[in-house]
Amino acid sequence: MATPPPASSTAGSRATRRGLRRLGWAIVAGLVALALLYGPALARYARTGTSYGARIGCSCRFVEGRPLGSCRADFEPGMALVTLSEDAEARSVTARFALGFAQTATFREGAGCQMDPLPRD
């Protein structure tokens, strides 16, 4: 026959759950506060990073003729979250940042790599 756990164990378990719940809410509140304080700045940095990455990647690939994989060597420090992809038919390179920002640069004969217009937010 099974015996119920001692009362102190059950009370401790509830206190632990309550403490974890409070910690979870504190983390969520902290993340929301960070997003409100730094979100606009992070968005601007992400947009700048993707624009820079697209332009550098396009020039590296379609002006210099290097493989796209070697173009990351031209990135500035701190751009680890920017990824590149190419559209060989359109002769363009798109840079994406982890948070979903993207920018494309397209090679145009006689003009080099030019940034595509950004979508209106």
Q: For 34-68, what is each residue's pLDDT tens digit?
A: 677 767 777 788 888 899 999 999 999 999 999 99
* 113 — pLDDT class (breaks 50, 70, 90): very high
**Given this model, what pLDDT does residue 65 score?**
93
Q: Please tell me whether the overall predicted TM-score, pTM, comes out greater than 0.85 for this model.
A: no
Contacts of 61 by beta carbon, 8 Å cutoff, 6+ apart: 67, 68, 71, 86, 93, 107
